[in-house]
Every structure is written in structure tokens, then in C-alpha cells.
Amino acid sequence: MIYLFSDGKIDDLVIAGSTKFSYSYVEVDYFIITLNLVNGSKVDIIHNRTDNVAVGYNLGGVKVNYITIRAIARIAERDQPPPLSDPWGWLEYIKKLFYSLIEFLRYGVYLLVLAISYLAQLIQVFMLSIVFMLIAILVTNPLKLPAYIEFLVGLGRKMIDILLRLVDIAMKILHAIIDIIGHIIPF
């Protein structure tokens, strides 16, 4: 808050106050107060965050036509939740958590698609090698074909078992993330 008041003389203006906003992640570094005088001139006053004392300005008998106050602000990050008495801070905090979750999910989906893409390429190479091995067995010794098919069936079962375990691990991780989010957001 900034308070503008006069000490009784027509040409004196006193500025006092604090510039700290408690309810959001926007922190004001300083205010630029422009006094637009009746004679057309302007007086710029910079009011810092640390200036909580009254400062007087002598305007030389010229009246103030109007005052413009501009805040120079920046976005500040808070890691801990705001106090319970701060509803605007809680809205900003929940918004930050939501955007963090969206960012996390975005990267998670990207990594999942990338892993599926690599898996599809690996499966293509694996299927091509199976076909070449089948042709090689048929050319060299066709009597080993049943043993080769039995080997492929066992390998397929093991790969499906590994895939099911990976899906189970992924679901446990997703369940843990949902539990963490449920414990972070207060209701």
C-alpha cells in the first residue's frame, strides 16, 4: 500500500507505505509514482519495497493535477503453501501444482511414446531376424524346425511375461503419483 497525503501546506506531498502483496506470487520490486503537475511538468518518484518511512517532496508551490502509480513487479516462486488466511495465495498455489502436474504428465507421455516407438522398431528387427532364421533353418536342416518353433514359443511367453511386469510396475508408479497428489492437495 502507498499512502499519499499532505502535511497541511499546499506544496508538500508525503508518500509512505509498504509495497508487499501477501496474496499472490507477484512481488512488487518498486513503484514509480508520477506526479503530473498543473504546469505540465512531471515528477517521478521511485518508492522501493524497503521504503516504509514517510518521504516528503517540495513541489515549489505547483499543484498536482493527477497522480499515476505504476508497479514494477516480477513473478516470485514459493515452495511452501501460503497461510490458511490467504485464499488468493491458495488459488495461485493450486494453479502452480496443477501446471507442475500437467508439465510432468506431458514429459511422461512424451517418454512413453518414445519408448513405444523404440519398442516398435525393436520388434520389427526381432521379427525380421525370426524370418531370416526360419529361412536359414529350412535351407540348412529342416529337421530342426520343431525345436526352433518351440524356442520361439518359449521366447514369446517370456517376452509377454516381461511386458506384463513392466505394465504392472508402470501402474504402481502411476498409483503412487496419484496418492502423492491426493496427500498434497488439502481438502
How far apart are alpha carbons 135 and 155 in whole angstroms? 18
Q: Which of 112, 135, 11 is nearest to 61 (CA)?
A: 11
Q: Which of 34, 44, 43 is nearest to 62 (CA)?
A: 43
Q: What is the structure's pLDDT at 23? A: 39
pTM as predicted? 0.39
Strands 2-5 and 12-17 turn out to be antiparallel
Query: Cell 513541489 appears where?
Result: 59
In terms of domains, do 171 and 117 share one? Answer: yes
Q: What is the structure's pLDDT at 164? A: 93
Q: What is the structure's pLDDT at 2? A: 54
Q: Which residues contact 134 (CB under 8 A, 6 or more apart)?
A: 145, 148
How far apart are alpha carbons 76 and 28 in whole angstroms? 9
In terms of domains, do 58 and 104 share one? Answer: no
Q: What is the structure's pLDDT at 74? A: 65
> Does 55 map to a domain?
yes
**Total domains present in the chain:** 2
Q: What is the structure's pLDDT at 55? A: 60
Length of the chain counted residue by residue: 187
In terms of domains, do 169 and 92 share one? Answer: yes
In terms of domains, do 71 and 94 share one? Answer: no
Q: Which of 174, 24, 162 is nearest to 91 (CA)?
A: 24
Cβ contact 17:4 at 8 Å: no
In terms of domains, do 93 and 179 share one? Answer: yes
> Does 34 map to a domain?
yes
The DSSP code for 21 is -
Instruction: Spell out the alpha helix ranges (H) of 24-86.
Output: none
CATH code for position 20: 2.60.40
Q: What is the structure's pLDDT at 177? A: 82
Q: What are the 10-residue block averages of pLDDT along the chain, 187 residues in total?
A: 55 52 55 81 75 61 77 65 77 81 85 88 90 90 90 91 90 86 70
